[in-house]
Amino acid sequence: MHKMTKVVFAAIATAMVAAAQNPITADSPFQVRYASNLTAGDSVINLTNTGANGASLFGPGFGGAIGNICVNVYALDPGEELVSCCSCLITPDGLASLSVVNDLINNTNNGTRPTSVVIKLVSTIAGGEGGTGTSCANSAANISTATLATGLAAWGTTIHAAPGGGVTAVTETAFTPATLSAGEAASLQNRCRGILGNSSGAGVCNSCRAGGLGATRLH
């Protein structure tokens, strides 16, 4: 067998073993994205609940709540500091959105407005088993492996420099499913807990609004 072929097969085998040991599916409760060039314009986040945890048979308003999730949002600046956190209740098949400029960095924990952020989303079941809860108050400060929930789908926009000089363009892509380690979960939870408990309202991002947000080319 050719040496290069052996190297390729070895790489594939390694990747397959890694995937088997650490599977990351599209329906992950932990998803990550970034937003940059925030001085040039806004970036937006659109969120939905796919209904993976159930949904009312005849739609909302018929019977009790079921399948609700809390989407816990964490914004970190390039220096890895958590600048804001909050949580949003998303019902099955619902659509909600956040503005990065107006909701995530308008009232940061450290008083500065970063020009770019990493955005981490952690979905947890709302209330007890089955998603019967109708509130996500302080949920971002109380995540645990026992409450992680699938059913989150998220998309975001960011601003890029476009060919031509002085021109910017907006792109939208899905958030990236990722592995949430115990250490990362504890770090996000505890730092958010400090913000909610000790920052007198600073660092608490605004709640999600119903409906989706779009973005257009700026220049």
Give which of 124, 118, 116 is closest to 141, Cα–Cα. Answer: 124
Q: Is the pLDDT of residue 214 over 90?
A: no
Q: Is the pLDDT of residue 218 over 60?
A: no
Lowest mean pLDDT among 68-77, 158-167, 195-204: 158-167
Per residue in 9-46, pLDDT (tens digit) is 344 344 444 444 456 778 999 999 999 999 999 999 99
Confidence of residue 82 (pLDDT cuts 50, 70, 90): very high
Q: How far apart are CA 108 and CA 44, in angstroms?
A: 17
Percentage of the chain exceeding pLDDT 90: 67
Contacts of 57 (CB under 8 A, 6+ apart): 63
Confidence of residue 4 (pLDDT cuts 50, 70, 90): very low
Confidence of residue 217 (pLDDT cuts 50, 70, 90): very low
> Where are the domains positioned within the chain?
25-210
- Specify which residues 72 forms β-bridges with: 87, 122
> What is the Cα gyration radius of the chain?
19
Average pLDDT for the chain: 86
End-to-end CA gap in the chain: 54
Q: Is the pLDDT of residue 219 over 60?
A: no
Per residue in 96-151, pLDDT (tens digit) is 999 999 999 999 999 999 999 999 999 999 998 889 999 999 999 999 888 999 99
Confidence of residue 206 (pLDDT cuts 50, 70, 90): confident
Q: Is the pLDDT of residue 203 over 60?
A: yes
Q: How far apart are CA 202 and CA 211, in angstroms?
A: 25
pLDDT at 208: 84
pLDDT at 22: 53
Instruction: Give me 114's structure tokens.
Output: 């970063």
Question: Can you tell me the mean pLDDT for 45-55?
Answer: 96
Percentage of the chain exceeding pLDDT 70: 86
Hey, what's the torsion of the CAs at 176, 33, 11, 21, to 10 degrees? -50
Q: How far apart are CA 49 and CA 92, in angstroms?
A: 5
pLDDT at 24: 73
